[in-house]
Structure 1
């Protein structure tokens, strides 16, 4: 009787014998591994939702961006100039406490604040101008000048102007004249275009005038003090014991 041996139940027994020579075992393993890797299909790296959103935003900005508008450089505003040519009727001067000029309303009952367009020059008697102050109008004045020659001023003193001697509007609190008002106004001290300020305050019985040597002098001839009154706009003596 022929007896056939049954197949071993150990399924790993066929692998018990290593048929790869020892000296080629390492190389054969590397070759086999490399060939397997080369046959793997290509897979793109996975992108997270944050990365996808970031790329979408970049694409949207790049495709919808508008080049910024370049505006031309704007130069600084030029120094304000007087609105008209100088005129004898709008020119003031300061020579001494008895020889000076003020710009005053040219019409009876006209408020000083309304006379900026038609004010005219009045001067002390003997100054040579077309219009002179009425007798008794100026009751006191003093002159002071900057040591560096940057300005000269004539300050009218409290109680030294008699509003009843002139054609002021009743209860007129006053107003300011300067290099731009009235048209063509100037002071001979600085010449046409140089800064000057004048305030006349009938209700306070005072006036003040300062002429500066240069244009747009907002230190010595600060035109922004038009509502502050003479003691602020043109500091000086505003008190006399009696008529000058």
Structure 2
């Protein structure tokens, strides 16, 4: 664990937010362009297209959000650069999440991020049954994003914005998604959406109440500390933190080895934020009868995965943690496939 000092995290609506002049703190809003497969802006009412290659997610409400999943039946670890958008509504020229796919969703609104947790049968989104999945984010092993050209918007702050930092863990029956919508000088959007702890799973990186399957709820929630941050002491009003980094070893392009991260793995995040003002709805669906349109919904089929109730980790990961040695440009970047099995973890590393 690595120690540093920072001001205390205030779990209030004003702790991390939009600046007074209605602009956003640096690093919150994406500065690039929409990916080449995407519409120029988030758009409702686009035609049903279950072969779309668009990669624009919008995360607005419990009945208006999107996920990344494979364009054809393939493990997440094998398809992370090419995932496509699947949405609960007809929007963004994306594919439609078939009604009945989602069995439980928790939509959490905080002053720092919006977080969506869900269970369902994601074989309908081309994820093979039994695939414990992976982690997707705007960075990727080679800096071009997983998926390449993927963008994420939200209107949670009052108008559609393209946000720079987000992360999605998804497997065949569970997902967790966080979009970082504000920041301050202590807690950056990149820190709140820190994407290099993918072996740890949903319950650690995006803590929340995971006992919501077969319930559809929208809640306000307190803000968690950034993933891997642990307050250790307060000195002269300043909170000191330690940070956790995943442990792995690899080989540089010159044949020398490197080691990254901590050998001791914490068992849980520092805290699980509380939620309040929850409202429930009966289900999430779009009412589009794909079969009547001659569309099967996806190329995949498999047993209905209702998603076990659990508070631990979910989607395992195809990791792309940055190499911390000095010369990144001359080194081999690791691709690590992690399989997370609910209460326990198995891991295998593949380097190339």
Q: TM-score normalised by the shorter chain: which range applies? A: 0.5 to 0.7
Higher helix share: 1
Whether 2:141 is the aligned partner of 1:184: answer no
Whether 2:206 is the aligned partner of 1:234: answer yes
Listed as ranges, the gaps of 5+ residues in structure 1 are: 1-78
Equivalent runs, 1:79-228 vs 2, <5 Å: 85-86=34-35, 87-88=38-39, 89-108=54-73, 110-127=74-91, 129-147=93-111, 150-156=112-118, 160-179=119-138, 180-189=145-154, 191-192=161-162, 194-202=164-172, 205-213=173-181, 217-228=189-200
TM superposition outliers: structure 1 runs of 4+ over 6 Å: 81-84
Listed as ranges, the gaps of 5+ residues in structure 2 are: 1-26, 40-53, 139-144, 155-159, 217-352
The answer (yes or no) to whether the contact 2:165–2:193 under 8 Å persists in 1 is yes
Q: CA RMSD in A?
A: 2.8
**Match of residue 33 from structure 1:** none
The answer (yes or no) to whether the contact 1:152–1:210 under 8 Å persists in 2 is yes
Structure 1 residues 225 and 208 mapped into 2: Cα distance closer, same or farther (>3 Å)?
same
Larger relative contact order (Cα-Cα within 8 Å, sequence gap ≥ 6):
2
> So what's the TM-score if we normalise by structure 1?
0.56
Q: Measure, in 2, the Cα distance between the counterparts of 1:155 and 1:186.
A: 19
Structure 1 residues 236 and 227 mapped into 2: Cα distance closer, same or farther (>3 Å)?
same
Structure 1 residues 232 and 146 mapped into 2: Cα distance closer, same or farther (>3 Å)?
same
The answer (yes or no) to whether the contact 1:98–1:124 under 8 Å persists in 2 is yes
The answer (yes or no) to whether the contact 1:82–1:185 under 8 Å persists in 2 is no
Q: Measure, in 1, the Cα distance between the counterparts of 2:80 and 2:90.
A: 26
**Corresponding pairs, count:** 157
Deviates more, 1:136-145 or 1:164-173: 164-173
Higher strand share: 2
Q: Measure, in 1, the Cα distance between the counterparts of 2:61 and 2:93.
A: 15
Deviations 1:186-214, CA, capped at 9 Å, x for gaps: 21138556101011022xx2101111136
Q: Measure, in 1, the Cα distance between the counterparts of 2:213 and 2:81.
A: 36
The answer (yes or no) to whether the contact 2:76–2:131 under 8 Å persists in 1 is yes
